[in-house]
């Protein structure tokens, strides 16, 4: 018995293990976050030429502000001959920066890039550290990699992609001075100040130092936690992008959408079956009622017609008999009139008697009423269409969305049946009957595709967080066509064809997906 129980316990553990598997980092999200990771170089002079003294890493929390470790910029704070240089992960130029806040207590520093010299895509901060101890990624510029590659001085000032390493979260552990996150994603000198990312590419800490280890001991690394970073930023006038939504992959969303669609289809089939059964009962009841009513009316009309006919015959006979009698000639005329009227009545009753086809007409009318045609008791449409035109307010559906850094505000969406949005933006109609519009704004380091389903009033935004080269190629493809204006003949089909070349350049899956449910704005709402 004991061996059996142990075997069952082992099987339970084996089957339960996949359910407890922590989330894996998405390379696409780590790459997207890496766009805002920089090398922070302390620059001195050597023979009158700029020379790197040391370097660390940092990451953007706004277009011009960068977080790093205090110890990375400590030398520059103590020597006014040294300058701080910022080398981005891509592009052709760097920039100088100044320290606007430093906190040695928790090893944080905030830098600001010289005005107008460089703009960076900011990273989003997670809402907290996940309890499932999932996979994490450290991103930065370790010096041992530079040495292994044989990089020279000039290479330090050249844009290069940062190094990404993976590990697992080992827990949160307060040190004597500040809260830290313990993890196993390898970092080295030069990684200091770089971000520690969750599986969705959101910052959960600032890499700071590693535990000393002897040969054979496990390596552990420490990052300054969000409990330290968030107050530091807000105290210095920075309100970072934060996102506390669950970290879910696009594959999970797609699987959930398939399940949701299957459930909706199953529910629709069940409703159709129930409705068909209800209509069958209505049809049978209506047929029985119609048969009884029509046959009864038909028989009554025929009986009355027969009585009228007898009356006409009798009155005619009397008129014929009295016609030769001078004393009853007047009565003969009256009888003849009665005979004529009765004959006409008999004919009318016979002709207007309900036909057998009336049964089917009454059944059809009863079924049509049961199907909900027409209006309800208040005169309103009994089955209003969701595809109606008008001004809508679209609200994010978190359980159907994947958000890392995008805004999640409500969206005002004025829809017209011809695909015109807000009275000025034409949407294209693709081969699959889907309304879509591609956006490649210069001020947004992303390509976005908006799709709208009028039947369900669902607005979806897929965002592709691309590197500079891919972003430039997509913007070039966007510049190659001019979208037709609203109201132009065949505008929807034309735009659908124009956008296809740009869409083909995009990755197979987006980094972010925002799904909104839209409802009609209440009449009289303020503009």
Residue 267, pLDDT above cutoff 90: no
Specify the pLDDT at position 381.
Answer: 47
Give the pLDDT band of residue 266 (cuts 50, 70, 90). confident
Residue 523, pLDDT above cutoff 60: no
Reading the block at residue 498, the tokens are: 């124009």
Domains of the chain: 20-244 (2.40.10.120), 252-370 (no CATH), 390-520 (no CATH)
Q: Could you tell me where the DSSP H helices lie in 1-100?
A: 2-16, 27-34, 70-78
CA dist 110 and 70 (Å) reads: 8
In 3D space, the residue among 89, 82, 98 whose CA is nearest the CA of residue 50 turns out to be 82
50-103 tens-digit pLDDT: 888 999 999 999 999 999 999 999 999 999 899 999 999 998 888 999 999 999
> Per mean pLDDT, which range of 235-249, 254-268, 320-334 is the poorest?
320-334
CA dist 136 and 184 (Å) reads: 8
CA dist 273 and 30 (Å) reads: 48
Q: Which helix (H) or strand (E) holds 224?
A: strand 221-225
Parallel, antiparallel, or unpaired: how do β-strands 242-243 and 125-126 relate?
Answer: parallel
Backbone angles phi, psi at 391, to 5 degrees: -85, 125
449-461 tens-digit pLDDT: 999 999 899 999 9
Q: Which helix (H) or strand (E) holds 85?
A: strand 83-87
CA dist 148 and 399 (Å) reads: 45
Specify the pLDDT at position 218.
Answer: 59
- In the chain, the percentage of residues whose pLDDT exceeds 70 is 87
CB 516 within 8 A of CB 396: yes
In 3D space, the residue among 196, 198, 170 whose CA is nearest the CA of residue 183 turns out to be 170
Give the pLDDT band of residue 382 (cuts 50, 70, 90). very low
Parallel, antiparallel, or unpaired: how do β-strands 221-225 and 411-415 relate?
Answer: unpaired
Q: How many CA atoms are closer than 13 Å to the CA of 17, on its beta-carbon side?
A: 6
Q: Which residues contact 172 (CB under 8 A, 6 or more apart)?
A: 129, 179, 180, 181, 182, 225
Specify the pLDDT at position 174.
Answer: 66
In 3D space, the residue among 465, 439, 434, 461 whose CA is nearest the CA of residue 450 turns out to be 461
Buried/exposed 106-130: b ≥16 CB within 10 Å, e otherwise: bbbbbbbbeeeebbbbbbbbbbebb
The predicted model gives 328-343 an average pLDDT of 77
Specify the pLDDT at position 131.
Answer: 62
Residue 197, pLDDT above cutoff 80: yes
- The DSSP line for 298-351 is HHHHHHHHHHHHHHHHHHHHHHHHHTT-GGGHHHHHHHHHHHHHHHHHHHHHHH
Cα torsion for 487, 489, 495, 498, to the nearest 10°? -140
127-161 tens-digit pLDDT: 877 666 689 999 999 988 877 777 776 778 889 99
Residue 21, pLDDT above cutoff 80: no
CA dist 345 and 319 (Å) reads: 18
484-509 tens-digit pLDDT: 999 898 999 999 999 988 999 999 99
Mean pLDDT of the chain: 84
Specify the pLDDT at position 345.
Answer: 82
- In the chain, the percentage of residues whose pLDDT exceeds 90 is 47
Kindly report the pTM of this predicted structure. Answer: 0.74
In 3D space, the residue among 259, 191, 196 whose CA is nearest the CA of residue 224 turns out to be 196
Q: Which helix (H) or strand (E) holds 448?
A: strand 447-453
Specify the pLDDT at position 319.
Answer: 74
401-427 tens-digit pLDDT: 999 888 899 999 999 999 999 999 999
Specify the pLDDT at position 19.
Answer: 40
Residue 190, pLDDT above cutoff 70: yes
């Amino acid at each position: 018995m004991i061996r059996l129980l142990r075997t069952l316990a082992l099987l339970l553990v084996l089957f339960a293990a996949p359910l407890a598997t922590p989330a894996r980092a998405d390379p696409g999200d780590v790459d997207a976050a890496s766009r805002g990771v920089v090398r922070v170089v302390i620059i001195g002079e050597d023979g009158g030429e700029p020379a790197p003294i040391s370097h660390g890493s940092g990451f953007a929390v706004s277009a011009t502000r960068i977080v790093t470790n205090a110890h990375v910029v400590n030398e520059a704070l103590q020597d006014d001959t040294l300058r701080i240089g910022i080398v981005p992960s891509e592009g052709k130029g760097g920039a100088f920066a100044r320290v606007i806040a430093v906190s040695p207590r928790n090893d944080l520093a905030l830098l600001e890039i010289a005005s107008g010299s460089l703009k960076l895509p900011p990273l989003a901060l997670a809402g907290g550290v996940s309890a499932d101890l999932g996979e994490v990624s450290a991103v930065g510029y370790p010096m041992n990699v530079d040495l292994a590659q044989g990089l020279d001085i000039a290479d330090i000032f050249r844009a290069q992609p940062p190094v990404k390493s993976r590990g697992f979260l080992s827990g949160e552990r307060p040190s004597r001075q500040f809260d830290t996150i313990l993890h196993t994603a390898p970092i080295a000198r030069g990684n200091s100040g770089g971000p520690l990312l969750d599986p969705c590419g959101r910052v959960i800490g600032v890499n700071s130092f590693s535990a000393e280890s002897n040969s054979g001991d496990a390596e552990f690394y420490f990052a300054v936690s969000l409990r330290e970073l968030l107050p530091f930023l807000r105290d210095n006038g920075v309100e970072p992008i934060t996102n506390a939504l669950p970290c879910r992959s696009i594959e999970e969303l797609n699987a959930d959408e398939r399940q949701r669609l299957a459930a909706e289809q199953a529910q629709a089939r069940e409703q159709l079956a129930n409705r068909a059964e209800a209509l069958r009962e209505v049809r049978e009841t209506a047929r029985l009622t119609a048969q009884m009513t029509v046959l009864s009316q038909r028989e009554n009309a025929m009986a009355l017609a027969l009585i009228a006919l007898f009356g006409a015959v009798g009155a005619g006979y009397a008129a014929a008999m009295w016609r030769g009698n001078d004393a009853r000639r007047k009565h003969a005329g009256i009888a003849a009139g009665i005979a004529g009227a009765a004959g006409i009545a008999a004919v009318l009753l016979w002709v207007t008697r309900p036909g057998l086809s009336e049964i089917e007409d009454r059944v059809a009318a009863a079924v049509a009423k049961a199907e909900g045609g027409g209006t309800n008791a208040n005169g309103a449409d009994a089955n209003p269409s969701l595809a109606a035109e008008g001004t809508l307010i679209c609200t994010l559906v978190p359980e159907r969305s994947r958000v890392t850094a995008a805004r999640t505000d409500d969206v005002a969406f004025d829809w017209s049946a011809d695909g015109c949005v807000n009275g000025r933006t034409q949407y294209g109609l693709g081969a699959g009957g889907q309304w879509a519009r591609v956006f490649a704004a210069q001020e947004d380091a992303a390509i976005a595709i908006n799709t709208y389903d009028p039947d369900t009033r669902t607005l979806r935004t897929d965002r592709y967080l691309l590197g500079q080269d891919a972003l430039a190629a997509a913007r070039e493809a966007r510049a190659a066509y001019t979208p037709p204006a609203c109201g132009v003949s065949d505008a929807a089909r034309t735009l659908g064809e124009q956008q296809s070349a740009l869409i083909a350049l995009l990755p197979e899956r987006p980094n972010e997906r925002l799904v909104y449910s839209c409802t009609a704005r209440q009449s009289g709402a303020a503009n």
